[in-house]
Structure formats: C-alpha cells, structure tokens
Structure 1
Amino acid sequence: MDRAPRAIFFLLLIVDFGVAQNTTSKADEFHVGVILNLGSLVGKVARTSVLLAAEDFYAAHPNYSTKLVLHIRDSMASDVQAASTAIELLENYKVQAIIGPQKSSEAVFISKLGNITQVPTVSFTATSSSLTSDSMPYFVRATMNDSAQVKSIASLIQEYGWREVVLVYDDTDYGRGILPYLNDALQEIDIRVPYRSVIPLSATSESIMQELYKLMKMQTRVFIVHMSTTMTSLLFTKAKEVGMMNKGFVWIITDGVANILDSLNPSVIEAMNGVLGVRYHVPKSQELDNLSIRWSRMYQRDNPDESPFNKLSIVGLWGYDAVWALARAAERVGISSTRNKQTWSSKNSTCLQSMAISTNGHELLTAIVQNKFRGLSGDFDLTDRQQLKVSMFQIINVVGRGWREIGFWTVESGLSRQLNQNGLKITGSASMPDLNPVIWPGESTDIPRGWEIPRTGKKLRVGVLTSGYPEFIKTLRDPVTNKTRASGLSIDIFEEAVKRLPFAITYDYVPFGTADTASSGSYNDFVYQVYVQKIDIAVGDITVRYNRTLYVDFTIPYTESGVGMIVPVREDMINNMWIFLKPLSTGMWFGSIILFIYTGLVVWLLEYLNGNEHVHGPFSLKQLGITMFFSILEEKEKLERFLSRIVLLVWMFVLLVLTSSYTASFASMLTVQKLSPTVTDFHELQKKGEYVGFHRGSYIEGLLVDIGFEISKIRPYDTPDDFYCALSKGSKNGGIAALVHEVPYIKLFLANYSKGYTMVGPIYKSAGFAFALPKKSPLRAELSRAILNITGGDSIIDIEKKWINKKSHQNEDKIDDSSAITFGSFGGLFLLTGIVTTFSLSVAVLMNHHKKYQQNTGGKGNDQNECAHGQQGEDGVSLGEQADQNSDEQEKCRDTGNEPTFAVPHSSNTNSDQLPDSKNKNIGCRSTENRIAPEVWSVGNPVN
C-alpha cells in the first residue's frame, strides 16, 4: 500500500535533482543507499535530516561536479530485510556508499557486504561498542560509541552515594554492547551489580510486568535502563502501573532514549517523571535554530500524522553532518567508471554473483575519514572511523511533559551544576551533590537511599550459631512451630538494632550446624555461609578478622576488643619481717633520707655561722648527734637564728604529711589481704615452658602459634567449666598455667569464677564482636548506626546486666603489684623544702660575708683605736669609750711601747681604791702590747 506513494515521491525527488542540475551544470550522480527503519521514530527523524542535509549542501555548493543521489529503503526493523535491501542497492543502483543501517545488528551484516564489495558503510545510529574497524574496515561510525557515556553514568551514581545498581537492557547487540564498559566503570568506583534484567525483543506487556515484580522483591532500588525507544516506552508505562515510579526508586536512562526524549509520546514522558538521563550536549547557535525551524516544517510535511511536538534531536544532527561529510568526499574522489570490472562470486548463491567490487572504494573511505569540520552537532571528526571525541554530557531530569537540565559532566571536571565558557566546573558543594535539585519519582525531593527491604517476598535469612558461652547466643528449635529460636546477648543487641532501623524488616533465624552441640562448626565456616548466599546475615559472637573481611563486610563491633589471659592469683600473707618498709618505695626511702640529712646540715651550718654555743667546737659524734637532733625536733631555746626556724618549720610540715601517708598505707597493708597474679607476661610462660589453653574452634590457636608458642604446649577446651578445671590443676598437674581468650569471654568467666583468678592484659588487639553481611550490603550502614546508638546509651548496660551476672569480684581489673608511695607523689613537697632550705643557706652565707667585709673596712680606717675597739673590760665598758673620756691615759697607753718598764711587786699596803683603775689602765696597755707578763704591772713615766 505504501510503496506506490513512496516510489512516486522518490521519482519526484530525482526529477527535482535533475532539474536543479540542468539549471546550473551537468553534475555526475553519486548513488548512495540509505537504509532506515522508517516505522520508528529514529528512522523518521533521520530520513528528514538526510534529505534536508543534501538539499542544504548543494544549495551552499552549487558548482560541485558531483551530486549525491539518495536511495532510501525501509528495513522494517528486520535484519534480513535490511540485508536484502542492501544487496538490492548494490546490485541495481551500484551505490558507492551506504548510509545506515539504523540498528547495530543490521550494521554487522551490511558492513560485511561492504567489506567484500569495498563499499563504505556510514552509520550515525549504530552505537554498539562491538562494531569496530578492526573486523569491519569499511564501516564508519558517524556517532559516538556507547562506551563514551559510561563514566558520566558512574559519576552520577557515585555523586549520590548509591552502592548497588541493577542493569536493565534488551537482548540485542545494542543492549549487550555497553555491558563490559559499564561494568568496568562501576567496578572502578566500587559499585555492585547484584542483578541484570534482560528484556527480549519478543517480550510482551505481561512478561515485562513479571520481570518488574521480580525487581520489586529485591533490595536494590537504582536501575540503569539501556534499551531501544520502543522497549523503553513500554517498560516505563508498565513500571508506573506496578508502582515502581513511586518514592524511593531511581531510574537512569542512557543517551539512546535521552537524546530523543522530546519526540516521545507525552503519555510516556509523563510515566517517566523523576527519571534521570544522560544525553549528548549540543552547543546552541543561530544556525541550529534556523535548521530546527526548517526541519520541523519538512518533518510535518513528510509525516503529517506524527505529533507536532517532535523536535530535531542529536540523531538528526549526526545524520545531517554525515551527509555533508559524504558529499565532500564524493566531490574529492569523483565517479568511478570501472566498477564492473571486478565481481564477487559465491558457489552457494546466484543473486550475489553480479555484485561488482568498487574500484574507488578505498579512496572514498580515505576521503570520508579525513573529514574534519565544525558541524551542527559539534566537532565532526572521523579520523579513527568513529566519532569518539565526546568530552561533555548533559544531565537531565524528566519533569512534567518535558525535561530540565540539572548539570553537566565533562572529562576534565566531572559533574558540575553549570559550565563556563571553557567548559570547566564553576560551583560545587562538599556536602551535597554538585547538581541542581532533582524531582525524584513520586514527586519527592529527598534523595533516595537506593535500596529498601522489600515488604513482599522472602524474609531475611539470619544465620545463628550456638556459642560456647550460652550467655552470648544459644539456639533451639520450637517443637510446636518447628522454627528456630535464639537468645543471648548478641541476639538482644541484634533485635534491638532492627527495631531502631528507619524501616521494618522481617527475618527468620537459620541455625548453622546442630543446635545441641556448642562446637557445631567453626566460625570461619559460619561466616562463609554469607559469602555463598545461604544466609543474608550472620549474628553471633563473631570476631572481626582480616581473613573474614575478604568475603564479607562487618558492622561496627558491639563489644570490647582485645585478647587477654586468665591466670590464678596468689595471696601475699603478712609474714614478712621487713613489712614496715613496704609502704614507701625504694626511691622514696632514699629521697627522704637524703633530704633529712641535707636539712640537718643546713640548720647546723646556719647556727654555726650565728655563733650558737651548742654547735661550736671540733666536729665529733656529739656534733653529729646535734645535727640529727635539729632535723627531728624543734627546741626554740637551742635555735638562735630566724632562718633556722623557717627551714625547720617547712621540714616539719613535710614530715607531717609523709608520716600520715606512711601510717595510712601501712595500716592498709596490715588490714587488707593483697592478691597478685601468678603470671604477668605471656613471654614468661614461653620461657618456663608452661601450658596454655584456648577455646576450641577459635582463632586463638593460630594467634598463639604466631606469637611463638609450641603446638605441644597449647591445649584446647570447650566450656567454661573445662577452663576452670584446667586452671585449677595447674600446668604441672595436667592443666594449664593461663587461658588465652577474648576480653568479652574473660569478663563473663570472671563473673562466675572470680575468686582465685584475674585477667592480665589485653596482650593482643582485636576488633571485637560484630555481625557479618554480604559485601557492599546497604543494610550494613543502617545496622552499624543502630548498634552505635545502642552501645552509646543505657540499653547496652541493661542487656549486659541481663546476661552477665554482676557478682562482686575484685579481681576483674588488672592487679597492680606495686602500691607503695613513690618519690614522685611527694615531688612538690620535697621541691618546696629544698628551695626554702637552699635559699636560707644562701642568705646566711651572704650576710656573714657582708659582716666580715664591714669589719675589715672599719679596722683599716682607724688604726689608732686598734687596741680599744671591739674590746670590753670586766665591767662591760669598752676601752674605746674610756679613751674618749681620758685622753691623758690614752697618750700614756700609746707611748707605752717607747718607755722603759719596771716590775712592781705586789704589796699588801697597796691602795685598794686605786687598784682597779690602775689595773684597768694596765690591762688596756697590756692587751695592746703582749710583751708584758700577766703578773707584772707596767708603769710608764712620761717625760714632761
């Protein structure tokens, strides 16, 4: 029905071209085949663009000697039909180039024909990455490769913090071609793809809805759609019906649909509200606006039944520029006149035997790929036979019946809200995505989390393993419901964390191994069940270990970390004859004694300099006793100097504090029974060759071997009762000297067996207990936040009180062997008394030195009064004062050394009243001259 009008249209078109040629000059016809799916939107847009491009090119170049003659054929969306039309064009019209085909699968077969006949095939719609010039040398891609957009999609996912995505694509070369490149881009930013949804071309509405229901049962809520326009329209229409275009869902479409979004049916666009898209960015220009107007007129003329809202897309621009490139190459090469000299034959086919090989095909191919110009779609460069130089994409958000721009992606700057003239990033935010606000599905403005626990479908499989300590976790099977039940500290924390999640989840407990044995399986095997997807989460007293993180992810720990030792304690009975020395440390004793002696010497020296009669005389044991006496007791009648009293007062204060502390510490040692661990270092166990124990099935065995313990010295045990019995026996009696265990287990053991045992350590660091989830599980972050909320509040205290018996056990903390008072504890007091003592001594020495200096200065200034100054008579009056009163007697005294002396015997008739005066006078002279004997009186006869 449609072939007759189309044939008439083609004839009219050829006639129009012929008339145009006759009006100017005779131009050689350059036959070109155009294969498009004229029933599709892309085919209709491309057909109008190709025809308009040929019209505009020769209008701009009227003097060209060649002119393209376009033979448009409909592939009818069939690879076979496309191949058939290609053969028909090559055979009947001897076309020297083929534009199209539209689909990548069609391009594969037609390009093989082009390789044989050496006819270049130029496609501006086949974007599959599987089409390469290596296998098809005569294929030229005048559009971008699908792989060019994968980094922009990956950046968009990373920007919003999503960790998992589901790929939705159709089962075609176009759909599958992007997968390797998209997977690589997602792996680079550590994004997981848990599922791939493949939609066959024969899919019906029912089959698509079944697939959508399957997607709804998954946790992931981020979907990347890479499908044809027809399948995309059907997918989103059904997605809206099943409720997958509501709040919480994220849909991202690739450029195949985003580029022609304006031409989609309005009802489809409305169903796609909230969708994000990546499309090729076309710079705006006046020429592009003029072309769009003329294109719209031609499109409506050729397609009167189509929507008037269809616009010129990037596909049409690529087709427009491709025709210009081919027209330029045809003018450069010219028309081949020897095409029929070579033929290609096949034994199995007769219709292909008449197909000739183009003699100028290689030359034409070279001219095509050498085209470099600024087209309406941007920089048009086919140097590598592919239009790969795409460095900018536009990020759009479908809103209402159209779309809005939310940002850009460039190779240099990544995502940005807007671009400057150089295409570089302008604005950004460290806390929020550097894009304009998005209206998400369901008309929500909140950024979707990217995952949800489905309300329908299977429940979470929570794996549980009975621990050697039932207080942590214990499992049993309900005989009535036949369901597994679990209890313990780990279970209470898990269930409390689930209650605090911002969403509701349902789960069932799945036991690992048998529930009636504590050691039903190793913890490594238990964690491995998560990796092989037999359970969704492993709950229990699971220690975070490096080898386990290779397979699963852990929440934050909910218990303390570390590995310690349980060792017996020994009693220190008060039977030591030197127990009185224990309250003070060795350093304290020596420091006190040294300060004791130093203070006594300083006080003695201060009194000695002051002339105290108690300290004068030669040094002896008596002087030593006095020195010691000054440091202990203060007797004011024996201390004559003020500085001495100050020094002794400070020292007494220090002694008061020291004796009080000594008394308190000594009383504590005599009244409180002291306990000390038998072992304080695991190296001590190695040196003595002692046996150590560990919990069977735990990683402690490997840890002990790594530390350096011999395997023969390591003994495994199963239950806390076994630990207690082994520790009670001791290493020499078939038991162990210490049990190496994790801190949470040690505290639980000491709660029940506190008497006689204590903890030493931690001797090794560990991360504590946590829950195991699959790699990249979105539930991990939510559970970790909930656990952090529990352990940071009062809930953890109530849970521990419920499962760990809080008995009064004084051995829970690490015992300190040394409780004596140290010298550093009294450093401040000793520093005070030292400063005061040294300062007092310094002041006394300076004062004594100053006094001697003054005396020496006074004696030199008055030599004449040398005999009188500083002396006293028996009556307490100084001779200097007598000299002032009786100058005559002073003259006699001064002339004594020059007069003869006479001995006067003692007589009973001597006048007693004159005797004292004469005696005083002669004493004054005798003290000046030592030449007169004490028993002789010298009388001087002055010469008048």
Structure 2
Amino acid sequence: MRLIACLSIYFSICSICFAMLSSSTEPVKSVNVGVILDTADAWIGKLCWSCIQMAHSDFYATHSYYNTRLILNVTDSKSELIAAASAAVDLIKKVAVQAIIGPQHSREANLIIQVCNKSRVPVLSFSATSPSLTSPRNPYFYRIAHNECAQAQAISALVQGFEWKEVVLIYIQDIYAEEVILCITRALQEANIHVSYHAAIPHSPDDNHVVQLLKKLTTLTTRVFIVHMSPMLGSRLFAFAREIGMMSEGYVWILTTEMTNQLASLNSSIIDTMQGVLGVGSYFPKTKEFQDFEIRWKLKFQQENPTTIRRELNIFCLWAYDAVTALAMAVERAGIKEFGFQKASTNSSNTTDFETLGVSLSGPKLGESLSKTRFQGLSGDFSLLDGEVNSSIFQIINVIGDGKKVVGFWTPENGLRRNLDSTKRDTNTSTYSTSKTNLALIIWPGDSSSAPEGLDLLANEKKLRIGVPVKPKNGFGELVNVHYDPDTDRINVSGYIVDVFKFVMDALPYHVPYEFFPFNPGDYDNFSTGSFYDDLIQEVYHGKFDAAVGDITIRAQRSQYVDFTLPFTTNEATFIVPTKQIKNKKEAWIFLKPLTWELWVTSFCFFVFIGFIVWVLEHGLNKETRISPLHHVDTGLWFSISTLGKESMATWQVEQLRPAVTDINQLIQRGDVVGYQYSSYSIQFLKQMGFDETKLRAYETPEECDRLLTMGSRNGGIAAAFDETPYIKVLQSKYCSKYTTIGPTYQSQGFGFAFRRNSPFVPDVSRAILNLTERNQDIVNTFVNKWFKNESHCSQSTTVDASYSLELDSFRGLFLLSGIVSSSALIIYTVTFLYKHRQDFKQFYANDSLWKRIYVMLTITRQDDNRIQVGELVSRSTTTTTSNLHDINVIDAS
C-alpha cells in the first residue's frame, strides 16, 4: 500500500512539473473579470472583498502553472439600481470583462442579469438569493449561494416539531421578499399550519411605524413570529420588540437565512435584544481548510480594518471565495484561444450604451465550463445544478449570550437531527422526522427552557366567541338550550351538545377561554327553508363568531366557509310514526291479537269451506270420511281451531307495537301530511323523495310534533315526521313506545363544531372528540342519561319492520288462489257426478222441489257408499278364504 501511495504522489508531482514546464512556453493570458460590490453596506462589502482577494491569491499560489489569470476590476453599486446597471455596462464596454462576480442584492442582480444576457457574459452572484432570478430565461446567471426558497421546508419542520398551529410572517415589503414568503407560506400550509397574519414593513420605515406594527401584533393570539428581513432593519425590530415586552416568556421568534447568515455582523448590543431567538441558517462544514483560512483571514482583516471590533466570517464570504475559485478553474479548463467581443451593429447615432453592447465570443463556452466545474470549496462540495449550488442542509441556531449556538440540523432526507454525523451513519435506515426531541436544549425568550405554546388566547382578555343557535320556543332543548337567567342577568347555555363541547375543550393540551353568544336573528321566517343554520355558518365565516356550537349538521356546502371538526354524533335521517299498542297484556283474549278479526273470520270460513270440499271429493273413495255426520262436524271444527291455534302460536313473537304507517309509499299515495323540523334541511330530502310541498308541515318542539302526530293527517296534523337520530331520541325519550321508526334510513355526516377557516383548534378538537367517542364511552353514557333520562326505561323496540303486519290484505292472494282451486275441484266433481247418474235423475219431475232433488242426490250418494262397502266386504271375505286355503295346503304338504 505504501508503494502504491508513493507511486501516486510521484506521478502527481511529475504531472504538475510537466504542466508547469509546458505552460512556460506560452504567455499567461489575462482575463478581465468585473466585481460589483455595495460599499453602502460597509461590513458586507469589506468582508466579501477581502475574501475575494484572498481567493484570488490563494488559487494562483497553488496554480501558478495556469495559462490564464483573472484580473479583478472592482466597482461600487452604491446600493442603487441604476448605478449597479451602469457599472455592469461600463465593465463590459470599457474593460471587456468576460464575467462579473456580484452584485450583493437581488434587486440589483435582476438588472445586471438582463445586461449580461444580452452580451453573453456570465454573472456569478454569491449573495443574490431571490428564487425568481434563476430561470431558463437567464442562462448566464449562476447563483453561488442558496436559493432562499430552499429553507421553507426547514422552517416548516421546525414549526411542526413544536406543534405550533399558527404563525405570523414579518417581512420587508418588496417583490423579492414576497417570493420567499410565498414559498414559506406554501410549506406551512402543506403541514396544516395557518399563517394568521402577514406583516409587511417598508424598506425604510420610521420608528413609529415599527412600534405601531409590533403593538398591533400583541393583540393577536399568535405568539410565533417568522422574520424575513435584512439585519439592519431586523436589529431595529428587535430593539423595539424588547421595549414593548415581546421578548419575554411565551414568545417565539424564528429568523430566516436573510438575517441568520449575517448574525456575526451585528454588534453585541443588538445580539443582547435577541436572546432566545431561533434561526434557520445555511450550513458549511468546519473543515481543516476552513480553519486555516479563518486564521489567515482574521489577521489580514484586522490589519486592514483595525477599528472593526467584530471579526467573524459568514457564509457569504465563503461563497464569494468559492465563486472566484470556480471561475478561475472554468476559465482555464474552457481552453478559450481568444477572449473578445463581437461589436453590435447599429446605424443610429441616438443609440444607448445598452444597445451598443457587444457579444462575448467566449461566453457560451465559459458558461458550459462553469456548469461542469467540481471541487471541494470552503462552503462545501461545489457543483452547479440548473445554475445553482446544492442547498440541501440547514442548521438551526439559538441566540444565547453574546453569540449563537447550533441546536440541530435539517436535511431533506432526514428532517430535524441533532447532528450530521448520526444522519450520515443512518442514511439507509432513518426516516424523515420533525420531532423536537432531535434538537438540543433551547433557551427561549425570557430565559425559559420550556417551549412556548405559541398561542396566548388571553391577549387583551380575548376569548373565543362561540355562536349558539336559539331556535323558536327553544325546541329540542335537550340538545342545546339557550335561556336568560334573570337572577344572574346572564345567558346560560346547556344541553347534550354543550356538555360534549365543554368536555373536549377542557381536554385540549392548553387552556382556551371562550364565551357563548346566542345567535337569534329575531325573524324566524327563514327557519322553514333551512337557511337558519347556513346564516349561522356565514356569521362564523365573516368573523362575528370564532366558532359555532349546536345541532349543526356537517354538509359539503357549509364546509366551503368553515372548517368542521370530526362529527361527535352518527346521524341517520328516517321517519317516525305513531304505534298501535296492546293496552292489557293479561286480558283473556290476548291470543287472538296476532291476527285481525277480519283475518280470523275469513280464515275460519275458508277452513269450513275447504273441509266440506275435501269431504265431498273423498267420501266415496276414502273410508276415513265415512263416519257419522255429527262426527264430521266435530272433526272439522277441531281441525279449524287447532290450525288457527298453531298459526297464533307461530306468530306469538310478532312485535307488540304496530306502526300506523308501514311504508313511505303509503304516505305519498294517500297524500298524507308529513312533518319536518323547522330550520332542518329535511325539506329538501322530502321533496326529492316525491312528497308534495303542500303536504309538508314544520314543527318547532317535540311537544308540537307529538300533538301533530296524535291528531293525524286527516285531522289537521301529520301522519309521520322525518328527522335525524338525535331529535328522534329526544322524542322517544319523552314519549317512549308511543312512536317508532320505519325505514328506509338516510345517512348524514352527523353534528360537528364549526370553526373559522384555517383555525388552529380544529385538529386538536377533532382529536379530543375521537378520544371521547372511542375511549371514554362511560362519559358519553353519562351525558346521554343526563339529557335523555327516559330513554333507558323504554323497554319496547323503537324500530319495527313493516313486513310483520298480519292483516286480511296480506293474505288476499292466498285466499283467492285457494278459493279458485277449491271451487274448481267442486265444480268438476259435481259435473262428473251428474253425468254418471244422469239416468237416475230422469225420474225427477219438472214440478219437484229443490229440496227433493237434493234428497235424491244424497240418496244416490248414500247408495254409492253402500255399494262400495259391500264390495269391500266381499273383497275382504274372498281374500280371507283364499288365505285359509293356502294355509291348509301348506300343512298337508308338511
């Protein structure tokens, strides 16, 4: 192995020497490069210029054998757009630069890019981080820095880790900052995190403007603030925030890379106002090469800037260093023979400097060489993808004491991690995580080690305004009831639904104060159309209420305006009808109840009729039928009574409650009046089923529904009511087995609590509802027993199958078929009998009476019976004699 290593080093040295010897024969080509900095920002300007100079000297100190050498031409943009564009035009026209490094700001870079696109001069920016700059329309722009949108997922993961549901965004009011804010907003929304407020600040606001904005933010319940602005404006913001008291316990401040990457440029007094702040910053490895460079840079910078106290490198300095290195390597490897410009053709003397720009002959080839450049830079592995460096790792910092502490990292593959070493080892097995346990201990504002809840619902004593529906006459008050207490001069709200709401709100992991407000429009004309609850939803949508609690059915149309929690009831809509009930189960004739009297009489008549026919058909053939007439009557009656008795016993288990109506088609065909509850959407269902709107009647209370059902459709009431399960439970708990339901049933989404769109409480309240319905059924039963007291005492079934009823109509077809078959058999027998004895009937005289003719027929029938009996005796005698002779022969033979 040592031999191989030695040989490798030997050949490397030989290659370098050969390159140096060969290059000595060719003159070194000078390549002009422009550098546009902003001296108005003294710290960043000086810092980046020192790094650029060191990169230039370091590179050619180790690559002295290169045939090309960059000549740096620095100019000042003076933090002005026109000045930056003019500087770029002058560098191209007068100096013939082949590339430009800079500028520092995105707004300046946007103009310079347009100039360089026209002249095909590559632009390498180490600090213009706006996401809109890189696009197919800017093929000559190369960002040697992070795209600011890349941090959006890291910020979202940090907010998710601490389970904050709302944030406020504070940013500079310009198009470049708004692009980043849009990326952050989208990432938060994907994680169901609501941006409750956008606070935009002008570039140069006065102090009063900043103070008033911060005071306005204190009135919000949200206590998580994400700040995206320059260090200059950000330092003013935090200074005023501390004065107002917004840097105390309970507040959360998160900085974007715009400010985090430049924390080292802030003096100690500003850092002191930012204690406990979190930040997402660009990551770079602290390699040995970086440590060596940092020592050398500090010595050089101190010599050149002896009055500057803070001397800390930041990521922009490293990107600037790597930009020079990448450009120097690309120029050499491009192998360009001649650097020059093709002059623009123009015939007008009134052309501007922009129009007279020439086109670089080396631009396309140099750009291609840049895209292929790879090396290990101070900022990490250098490579360009779509004109940008890789931006996959961010560090999470915490401002503590006089500096910052790294508390974790974020990567696209692993999410939040304590350190990168474990992430690399676990690349194949780890999963994406947003757990706060993956971060080191964080010191929050107010010197607190406990993570803030992110909400302060007591801000300015603000409570959630909960709208509660007030229905006419407080109908169905067991569900929700609003009444005025004159003794306390307060509005009291109660009911099953209110108890459920109070329980789930108390079960939240944080305290949420709220207050009930009755929703009483005063005019209840819209109740009959079902728009009352829709109006309540609109009040929530427009901000009058923060939420609505009541018997509010979850519907798709309503969900366009509010966010519903999970349903806390499972609803079905069906019909409820009166029942016919046996009054005394101990009465003597209870066994007759399974069949109606009409069915009993008809059945008895048919049994006698069919019995007679059977006797007529079989009396001449079946000896069992040749008995005395009295015995015939006795046997027939016993057969009829025993058969009916068996049927009675078979139906003994038939439900003792009978619905007055068994099918909704009966209601429609008979034109019965059907009831529905005021304000319910049931009226739409009933119309769709085919009910005439003139046959629909609304009721307000269970008592009114009971009265209308008792009256009946023919007496000004209703034959049935269509409602949802909770309302039916109220009715049945009051009147027990007086009413029952009949199918079919129609599914609905159930009742839910309605909150304002994007409310942070909806997920937590839904989880509390799920926990209540799945794991705390005893509590649910307690609420049910409290508000539906009589329901458990109702022993009768509340639902009856319509197919059980045993009435005469139910057997009409059977009786008809039996009558036709029996009558046909009797007619056929009679015709056959008359034809057989036609000679015997010739002796009848025309004046013989009907009774005499019947007597003759019975005589003939009796004679037939005697002949059959004699024939049977003769046959039996002959059979016996033959048998005896057979036995004698057998004896003789023996």
Same fold (TM over 0.5): yes
Please report how far the alpha carbon of residue 698 of structure 1 lies from its aligned counterpart in structure 2 after TM superposition.
0.8
Counterpart in 2 of 1:304?
306
The answer to whether 1:730 aligns with 2:712 is yes
Instruction: Between 524-533 and 503-512, report the one with greater CA deviation.
Output: 503-512
Determine the C-alpha separation between the residues in 1 that align with 2:465 and 2:204: 36
Alpha-carbon distance between aligned partners in 1 of 2:240 and 2:185, rounded to the nearest angstrom: 27
Please tell me the residue identity of whatever aligns with 1:455: A
What are the within-5 Å matches in structure 2 for residues 435-454 of structure 1? 435-439=438-442, 440-454=444-458
**What are the within-5 Å matches in structure 2 for residues 242-641 of structure 1?**
242-308=244-310, 310-331=311-332, 332=334, 338-339=340-341, 341-342=343-344, 356-382=358-384, 384-387=386-389, 389-418=390-419, 419-421=422-424, 424=427, 432-439=435-442, 440-456=444-460, 460-468=464-472, 470=474, 471=477, 472=479, 485=491, 487-489=493-495, 502-503=510-511, 505=513, 507=515, 509=517, 511=519, 513-514=521-522, 519=527, 521-555=531-565, 561-573=571-583, 579=590
State the distance in 1 between where 2:173 and 2:511 align: 36
User: One-letter code of the match for 1:441?
Assistant: P
State how far apart, in whole Å, the 1-side matches of 2:345 and 2:328 are: 26
Matched-pair contact (CA < 8 Å) for 2:675–2:718: yes
Q: Name which of structure 1's ranges 401-410 and 424-433 shifts more when overlaid on structure 2.
A: 424-433
CA deviation after TM superposition for structure 1 residue 805, in Å: 8.2
Amino acid at match of 2:123: T
Cα separation, partners in 2 of 1:337 and 1:160, compared to 1, 3 Å: closer
Letter in 1 for 2:519: P
Q: Is the 8 A contact 2:156 2:191 kept in 1?
A: yes
Does the 8 Å contact 2:537/2:558 carry over to 1?
yes
1:52 to 51, 54, 58: 54
The separation in 2 between residues aligned to 1:551 and 1:210, in whole angstroms, is 32
User: Over the residues paired in the alignment, what is the CA RMSD in angstroms?
Assistant: 4.4
Structure 1 Cα separation of the partners of residues 147 and 665 of structure 2: 65
What is the one-letter code of the residue matched to 2:185?
A: N
In the alignment, which of 80, 83, 89 is matched to residue 81 of structure 1?
Answer: 83
Task: Letter of the 1:526 partner, please give it.
Answer: L
Q: Deviations over 1:856-896 (max 9, x none)?
A: xxxxxxxxxxxxxxxxxxxxxxxxxxxxxxxxxxxxxxxxx
Matched residue SS, 1:540:
coil
In 2, Cα distance between equivalents of 1:78 and 1:41: 17
Distance 1:765 1:69 in 2: 79
**Within-5 A mapping of 1:849-864:** none
Matched residue type, 2:448: S
Q: CA deviation at 1:199?
A: 1.5
Partner of 2:147: 145
Matched residue type, 1:554: F
Contact 2:413–2:432, Cα closer than 8 Å, also in 1:
no
Q: What displacement does 1:289 show?
A: 1.2
Distance in structure 1 (CA, Å) of the matches to 2:454 and 2:348? 56
CA distance, structure 2, for counterparts of residue 346 and residue 273 of structure 1: 62
Cα separation, 2, equivalents of 1:275 and 1:406: 12
8 Å Cα contact 1:370-1:383 kept in structure 2: no
Query: Does structure 2 retain, via aligned residues, the 8 Å contact 1:692–1:737?
Result: yes
Are the aligned partners of 1:475 and 1:511 in contact in 2 as well (CA < 8 Å)? no
SS in 2 for 1:541: coil
Deviations 1:518-558 (Å, cap 9, x if unpaired)? 83942123213323434321233212334433432234556
Structure 1 residues 509 and 817, CA, compared in 2 at 3 Å: closer, same or farther? closer
Contact 1:171–1:201 (CA under 8 A) maintained in structure 2: yes
Alpha-carbon displacement from aligned partner over 1:150-204 (angstroms, at most 9, x marks no partner):
2222233333333332222212343123234333333333333232221211123
Q: Deviations over 1:238-261 (max 9, x none)?
A: 223322233333322222322333
Superposition deviation, residue 782 in structure 1: 5.6
1:98 Cα shift?
1.6
Distance 1:344 1:469, change over 3 A: farther
* Residue 177 (structure 1) aligns with: 179
Structure 2 CA distance for aligned equivalents of residues 781 and 242 of structure 1:
32
- Equivalent residue letter for 2:540: V
Q: Which moved more, 1:685-694 or 1:793-802?
A: 793-802
Measure the CA separation in 2 of the matches of 1:359 and 1:777: 58
Query: Where do 1:578-727 residues align within 5 Å?
Result: 579=590, 676-679=658-661, 690-704=672-686, 714-720=696-702, 722-727=704-709
**Letter of the 1:579 counterpart:** I
Residues 672 and 713 of structure 2 are in contact (CA less than 8 Å); yes or no, is this contact kept in structure 1? yes
- Equivalent pair of 2:168/2:224 in contact (CA under 8 Å): yes
Q: How many percent of aligned residue pairs carry the same amino acid?
A: 39
**Distance (whole Å) between structure 2 residues aligned to residue 177 and residue 158 of structure 1:** 22
Correspondence 1:814 to 2:817: no
Partner SS for 2:413: coil
Q: Structure 1 residues 556-565 or 795-804, which shifts more?
A: 795-804
- Any gaps of 5 or more consecutive residues in structure 2? 1-23, 595-648, 805-894
Report the CA distance between 1:716 and its aligned residue.
3.4
Q: Give, in whole Å, the separation in 2 of the partners of 1:179 and 1:272.
A: 22
Per-residue CA deviation, residues 472-493 of structure 1 (Å, 9 max, x unaligned), is 5566899999x99464425676
Please give the alpha-carbon distance, in whole angstroms, between the structure 1 residues aligned to 2:340 and 2:569: 87
Residue 132 (structure 1) aligns with = 134
Distance 1:784 1:46 in 2: 53
Alpha-carbon distance change, 157 to 469 in structure 1, aligned in 2, over 3 angstroms? farther
Distance change >3 Å, CA 817–CA 512, structure 1 → 2: closer
- Count the aligned residue pairs: 713
The AA in structure 2 aligned to 1:163 is: K
CA 1:806–1:201 in structure 2 vs 1: closer, same or farther (change >3 Å)? same
| Structure 2 residue identity aligned to 1:450 | G
In structure 2, the CA distance between the partners of 1:425 and 1:522, relative to structure 1 (3 Å rule), is farther
Query: How far does residue 123 in structure 1 lie from its aligned partner after superposition?
Result: 0.6
| 474 and 236 in structure 1: CA distance in 2 versus 1, 3 angstrom threshold | same
Residues 750-805 of structure 1: CA distance to partner in whole angstroms, max 9, x if unpaired? 56556844566894454544431023312335656777899969998998899778
Change (3 A) 1:290 1:345: farther
Q: Residues 442 and 812 (structure 1 numbering): CA distance in 2 closer, same or farther, change over 3 Å?
A: farther
Deviates more, 1:426-435 or 1:503-512: 426-435
Show CA shifts across 1:628-661 (max 9, x none).
xxxxxxxxxxxxxxxxxxxxxxxxxxxxxxxxxx
**DSSP-derived class of the 1:161 partner:** coil
Please say if residues 166 and 196 of structure 1, whose CA atoms lie closer than 8 Å, have aligned partners that are also in contact.
Answer: yes
SS in 1 for 2:214: helix
SS at match of 1:542: coil
Helix, strand or coil at the partner of 2:521: coil
The one-letter code sitting in structure 2 at the alignment partner of 1:326 is L
Query: Which residue number corresponds to residue 618 of structure 2?
Result: none
1:744 aligned onto 2:726: yes
CA distance in 2 between counterparts of 1:497 and 1:187 reads 25
CA distance in 2, matches of 1:48, 1:78: 22
> Structure 2: how far apart are the matches of 1:63 and 1:323?
17
Q: Which residue of 2 aligns with 1:122?
A: 124
